[in-house]
Structures are given as structure tokens and as C-alpha cells.
Amino acid sequence: MRRLIFQEYVTLDGFAAGPDGGLEFFDSIGMQPDDDNLELLDSVDTMLLGAETYRLFAGFWPTEASAGEPIAAKLNALRLVVVSTTLQSAPWGNYEPGLVVRDLDAVRALKAEQTGKDIILWGSITLFQSLLRAGLVDEVQLRICPVLLGNGKSAFPTGGSPVRLDLIEARPWGTAGVLVRYQPAS
């Protein structure tokens, strides 16, 4: 079975976006090294996104604006799958358009495919929270930025049963951040 890896930039207090949806806190880690993401992209062949993150990504990654980004070529070569009940199509610039799926059963089927590498989920907080509750996330990878926002959009679900996680790795990242990786407890 293919693994689903969720990766998100978060503040030290667990927010994935500010109260206004802003992502300015990303800058707090200084240089954003891409070496580990280049390595991660070698282990995946599919990018899973929710509709909102798809719209953000589609406006940057498959365009000329991303040409100088070290991960752009690998990211644009990934198979794109967008989970949305509203989108009818998912164009990706001059690249192959994404596949739009409607529900978590489609994600479950994607994970069950017999061939292929892992699947990466970037951003897409609402989708992540649904996938986590459904037991479909195999790894939670957080890039913690040294900022306390106090409020904003939480990366994690509220209410419901606790989700226990086991630490895989923790290490410094960038000039001031921390990379932590967890897997759901067995």
C-alpha cells in the first residue's frame, strides 16, 4: 500500500495560517532549504491537494514564476489529484491536468494502488483533518516556524477522539525552524 505523507509549515503554536489566512510567518525560518524536499519528491509520484490549495498552487507552480525554484521541475512532474466537490477540472498550466476526485473513498483507492510511490499532501488543512480522522494519513511532517500567532487557522482537528502519534524524526531546519515527523501510533 502507498503511504500518504502530510507536510505543512506551522507556527510554534500550531497554526497553518494567520487569522486573515496570511502565510507571512514562513519567512521566520530564514532560508528555506529545498534539499530535503528534493529528496522527499524522489519518494513520491502523486500530489494530493484540496480545492483551495490547488487554486493557490496552480497560480504559481506550473507558471514561469516558479522557474527558479529548485523543486519546481519535480513538483510539476508529479501526478496531481485534487479532492473537491466543487471543481470540475484541475488544469495545471502546460502540464497534464490533475484528476478531480470527490471523496475519501477515492483517496483510499489511490493509496491501495499496487504500483507507484508515496503520495504527498501539502497544505489542504480541511482535507488533511478529514483524512487524519479517517485513518488515511501515514505520516505527519511539520516544518515548525519560530513564531507564536495566538490565533489563526489550526493545522489540527478540534474535538473528536485524540489522535496519538509516534515520533519518527526531529531536527533543526532552515536557520531557525524545526522539522518533526510523526506517524500514527500503532
CATH number at residue 153: 3.40.430.10
The predicted structure's pLDDT at residue 32: 55
How do 95-101 and 79-83 pair as beta strands? parallel
Domain of residue 145, residue span: 4-184
The predicted structure's pLDDT at residue 148: 92
The predicted structure's pLDDT at residue 31: 57
pTM recorded for the entire structure: 0.92
Collect the ranges in the chain with pLDDT lower than 70. Answer: 29-34
The predicted structure's pLDDT at residue 33: 56
- Label residues 89-107 b or e (16+ Cβ within 10 Å = b): ebebeeeeebebbeeeeeb
The predicted structure's pLDDT at residue 96: 96
Q: How open is the CA angle 167-180-125, to the nearest 5 degrees?
A: 105
Task: Give the count of domains, the chain.
Answer: 1
Instruction: Give the tens place of pLDDT for each residue, 98-119.
Output: 999 999 999 999 999 989 999 9
